[in-house]
Amino acid sequence: MSLRLGDEAPDFVQESTQGTISFHQWLGDGWGVLFSHPADFTPVCTTELGLTAKLKDEFSKRNVKAIALSVDPVDSHNQWINDINETQLTQVNFPILADADRKVSSLYDMIHPNANATLTVRSLFIIDPAKKIRLIITYPASTGRNFDEILRVIDSLQLTEHHKVATPGNWKPGEDVVIVPALQDADEIARRFPKGYKAVKPYLRLTPDPRI
């Protein structure tokens, strides 16, 4: 059965370029990004893994760990890493799971027969500290992931986790957010949002980013 938002991210034990990974233990009490690739030595994925390595500090300051997956074995991954480091001018600094037995691919429904009966599709999961899946995106093979968007979603999830707000379309950190419609108590609104708010419509109330 396909995974849905709010489901617990399946746990697993699998080999990787950084040794054996027990997934939930590896995640610890932080956030995680798990993303898959059809195979090693593929051009779009080479650029994506390079970008992920370059964004390590951005992920770290959000308490996020990144982990990739491909159906090829560890020795192939290690050879690919050499190419990634060379062509993307970086050093891969996160594990790549070796899923030759398709164990993780099956748990996360990454094999789509209409796309390819044996290789994983290019899926991405954002997982919160409670091990719940908070975002699922599946990309076609021809389109590289937008890592600015992935960071933006993480910022939104972490903001809305602790404040009764939602983030508008194209929102970026520091911009106004929306007070959730369920919050109607005037005293609580004043306490939560001391900078006030603008009621564009009764259901559309904008307030400054509460973290600023």
Alpha helix (H) residue ranges in the chain: 23-27, 43-54, 56-61, 74-88, 103-107, 147-162, 186-192
Kindly give the pairing relationship between strand 31-37 and strand 122-127. Answer: antiparallel
The average confidence (pLDDT) of the chain is 93
Query: DSSP 3-state helix, strand, coil percentages of the chain (rounded to 5)?
Result: 30, 25, 40
Q: Using one digit for the tens of pLDDT, what is the confidence trace for 34-51?
A: 999 888 999 999 999 999
pLDDT above 90 for 110: no
Give the chain's end-to-end CA distance (angstroms, integer).
41
Q: Of 92, 75, 78, 101, whose CA–CA distance to 13 is shortest?
A: 101
CB neighbours (10 Å) of residue 186? 8
Question: Would you state the pLDDT for residue 38?
Answer: 84
User: Please, what sign has the CA dihedral across residues 124, 51, 154, 149?
Assistant: negative
Question: Would you state the pLDDT for residue 133?
Answer: 98
**Nearest 5°: phi and psi at 162?**
-115, -5
pLDDT above 80 for 123: yes
- Compute CA 129 distance to the chain's CA centroid, rounded to the nearest angstrom: 12
Mean pLDDT of 118-128: 80
Residue 119: pLDDT band (50, 70, 90) is low
Give CA–CA dist 108/44, Å, rounded.
Answer: 21
Q: Using one digit for the tens of pLDDT, what is the confidence trace for 125-139?
A: 999 999 999 999 998
DSSP sequence for 87-107: HHTS---S-EEE-TT-HHHHH
Residue 117: pLDDT band (50, 70, 90) is very low
Mean pLDDT of 81-107: 95
Question: Would you state the pLDDT for residue 112?
Answer: 56
From residue 126, alpha-carbon distances to 21, 22, 40, 42, 200 in Å are 18, 17, 22, 23, 32
Domains of the chain: 13-144 (3.40.30.10), 163-207 (3.30.1020.10)
Q: Using one digit for the tens of pLDDT, what is the confidence trace for 142-157?
A: 899 999 999 999 999 9
Question: Would you state the pLDDT for residue 48?
Answer: 96
Mind telling me the catalytic residues? 45
Q: Is the pTM of this model over 0.85?
A: yes
Residue 111: pLDDT band (50, 70, 90) is confident
